[in-house]
Structure 1
């Protein structure tokens, strides 16, 4: 498949595909006699996987570290569960940190408001 066909089928831009290729996220395409890139149809599932994973907060480095297989499911269910569980735990830690930061901010606001009220009278 040509790059435009792959991009349309996967819902990504051609520049995104070239970027992934340059970064080693996807294998370089074969070149036909005319010099055009010729991509395997299985790449559609991989590109969708990459986009979905990024939408869930995975970095390209994390995505590139996953052993990808061919077919409609680029990784095994067991590997997906392991990765998703680790990402969930990381998100939980970020949420806890954000809540703690919010409490500190609210406390500081309260202190400043009390200080301001004490000097305004």
Structure 2
């Protein structure tokens, strides 16, 4: 498949495919005699997986470390569940940190409000 065909089928831009290829996230495409990239149809599932994982907050490094196969489900359920659980735990910790930071900010704001001098009367 040509890059435009694979991009349309996977729902990604051609520049994104070239970027993934350059970064080693996807295998380099074979080139035809005319110099055009020729991608295998099974790359569509990998591109969709990469896009979905990125939308869930996974970095390209995390994604590239996943062992992928071929077919409709390119990542085993066991691996996918482990990956998702780890990301969920990371997000849970980030939320707790953010909530703690928010409480400290609100406490400091309340303290500053309580200690703010009263405005002076004009006159």
**Correspondence 1:36-51 to 2 at 5 A:** 36-51=36-51
For residue 120 of structure 1, the aligned residue among 98, 107, 118 is: 118
Q: Give the SS at the match of 2:74.
A: coil
Separation of aligned partners in 1, 2:57 and 2:39: 27
**Correspondence 1:61-80 to 2 at 5 A:** 61-80=61-80
Separation of aligned partners in 2, 1:28 and 1:40: 11
Partner of 2:92: 92
Q: Give the SS at the match of 1:33.
A: coil
Separation of aligned partners in 2, 1:68 and 1:58: 15
Q: In the TM superposition, what is the alpha-carbon distance from 1:115 to its structure 2 partner?
A: 1.1
Structure with higher helix content: 1
Separation of aligned partners in 2, 1:108 and 1:20: 46
Structure showing greater Rg: 2
Q: Which runs of 5+ in 2 are unaligned?
A: none
Q: In the TM superposition, what is the alpha-carbon distance from 1:32 to its structure 2 partner?
A: 0.6
Q: In the TM superposition, what is the alpha-carbon distance from 1:38 to its structure 2 partner?
A: 0.2
Separation of aligned partners in 2, 1:25 and 1:73: 18
Q: TM-score, normalised by structure 2?
A: 0.95
Q: More relative contact order in 1 or in 2 (CA 8 Å, sep 6+)?
A: 1
